[in-house]
Structure 1
């Protein structure tokens, strides 16, 4: 009876007379084309060439709305080496008041600081363990007013591109999810898990006038289905996060903890898991805490088409629970240049046991490397947004 009452309440809310409705359908298509220059100091060939400059991504962002029902999608085309074509997000929504909305489909997971927990092109280290700007398949309820931002979601699974009984997770995805990997290189996949039946909740309290604060907590719990044992494990995460704006300054801070406990076959390690995105999986420590802190300053200018310079520094650390593992670090210092419809990120990204910022890929976020060094990637991303 309680379930029936809940369903009836939702239906009544959906048809409430205070519905926000458009008289006519509204449809728009936005998008972006981006190019990227990078110089990585651990790549000898790049050093001799002075770096490389090439295609990054082309994307389209269709949106539509009619009688309170909305569509929001983003489809991206990367090179084959970075996963090729993929849907970043795509959901249908219903806005039944100024503050309340339901989204169904591939929607952003409510965890951590809202939107992004970073200012730079590389995001924070949380992104690389699936705790920032991740999108999964499910339903999400949002209540957002001048004091509170509350989101509750149920995700049936991450992006599912095949529907077989034991098909592995596709590597062609935007956000990092649990997947499979051929660790030994013999053509056989290991650590074959899938995220299923996940609950997320995030509560943010807004306060302040001249200084605008957003203080929040996030939680997540879900299942990990192992394709080899056909048994369910679990994973969970929690976070405390804070976002503050003061004049031209912004500060983001977050403390997160996660643990992934797969029900793996005998002989397979459970202190690491495989995660995948952009066409290539790697291993990640199954348990750890992340600490991130980022600050930015927005300086308006009048230099021809250039209207502002956003300076920032974002630091992050992955503190792995396993004592034999070596921790991972990331620090990005840079500037975003705004010039009309063009946005340019100029980043000096430093990493220590970070797969995208150093020569070690498979093991950097898992076992790590003894006496690991800091490596640097100088990156310029040019984006035309329309």
Structure 2
């Protein structure tokens, strides 16, 4: 089913009318955002001659509803066709047992690592590009938030499923990165055809405070199946992480160490030291085993420059140590500022990377084999969004 803007408006109107006529004083809220993007990349000669490009990023619709503890939360995004087109970022039905305990079912955020984001900048951190930051999958999640302890338990049947055939490949039109398929050799047939299935997650945080600082120390784990569409055999994958957050006044720090491994049951002759991952309409290869290290810090400066109310300066660093000895490791660093002016949020980023597909000329192999002696590539990026 293709969700057009007209169909989406019909669904929204149906939700609102249901609240008005069938429920006793429900809460229904609509919101969204419109964003534009400017970027200038060191590896794009034509773009440098033009002085960069400025254009459309996305338009999104957010719907939230609540009645007698039962909640709805959905976000649908409209990107350009080349960037994946329309896609559901999240969409779940939830129930609040009380102020501390919540249940969500549907396309909901995976409880792994620092959430909601393990980064401060517009590009996210390096874990995002491996499907380990702000990932959303289809399943059910229980969350508890207490004074000193937070924990979450979840089961995900699969990632976003748009095609329900016996051996349907994962769609490239998605917000968060998931294991998928890729036409690696250009022969018109997809390769490395795997799917994430039957994944379990557990996460726990301990919150404690000193005289001036607040701390959050936690651990996460996930384990699931990896179904190959060609061999019809089940492989496996897992990831574990330790994470820490520090809050002191206007200053905060985010640090995380993660370990992941994919064990695909690929056809004979197809390498098992890489997997395909996909999002935004374009898949690439990723090393099937490695460790990631991330560290980010930010400082928020309140100002009174009408309409600007605050400027947050930050630096986020990420490193992937790939297990394969002849694979080149990946580095990523983003230095920037978030400027808040009313409902307008502007990210100004200097993003640098080595063997990072979004920050360099090599797409398919950057997160897999990579390029020996790769240069640091830089992208200057400004993202301007009005959120309502």
SS state of the match for residue 108, structure 2?
strand
- Alignment of 1:230 with 2:232, yes or no, is yes
Shift in Å, 1:23: 6.5
Instruction: Give distance in 1, aligned partners of 2:184 and 2:119.
Output: 31
The one of 247, 250, 260 equivalent to 1:248 is: 250
2:95 corresponds to: 94
Q: Which runs of 5+ in 2 are unaligned?
A: 1-22
Contact 1:23 1:67 in 2 (8 A): no
Backbone CA RMSD of aligned residues: 0.8
Pairing 1:362-377 to 2, within 5 Å after superposition? 362-377=364-379
Instruction: Give distance in 2, aligned partners of 1:285 and 1:198.
Output: 20
CA shift digits 1:229-256 (9 cap, x unpaired):
0000000000000011100101000000
Instruction: Give distance in 2, aligned partners of 1:100 and 1:328.
Output: 39
Contact 1:248 1:297 in 2 (8 A): yes
Q: TM-score, normalised by structure 1?
A: 0.94
Greater than 3 Å deviation, 4+ residue runs: none
1:15 corresponds to: none
Shift in Å, 1:297: 0.3
Instruction: Give distance in 2, aligned partners of 1:276 and 1:337.
Output: 31
1:346 corresponds to: 348
Contact 2:115 2:133 in 1 (8 A): no
1:152 corresponds to: 153
CA shift digits 1:134-186 (9 cap, x unpaired):
00000000011111110000000000000000110000000000000001111
1:331 corresponds to: 333
Instruction: Give distance in 2, aligned partners of 1:41 and 1:368.
Output: 18
CA shift digits 1:293-329 (9 cap, x unpaired):
0000000111110000000000000100010100000
CA shift digits 1:112-146 (9 cap, x unpaired):
01210000000000000000000000000001111
Pairing 1:35-54 to 2, within 5 Å after superposition? 35-54=36-55
Q: TM-score, normalised by structure 2?
A: 0.93
2:58 corresponds to: 57
Contact 1:223 1:235 in 2 (8 A): yes
Instruction: Give distance in 1, aligned partners of 2:177 and 2:378.
Output: 22
SS state of the match for residue 183, structure 1?
coil
Instruction: Give distance in 2, aligned partners of 1:48 and 1:382.
Output: 23
Instruction: Give distance in 2, aligned partners of 1:212 and 1:113.
Output: 15
Q: Which runs of 5+ in 1 are unaligned?
A: 1-21
2:11 corresponds to: none
Pairing 1:179-218 to 2, within 5 Å after superposition? 179-208=180-209, 210-218=212-220
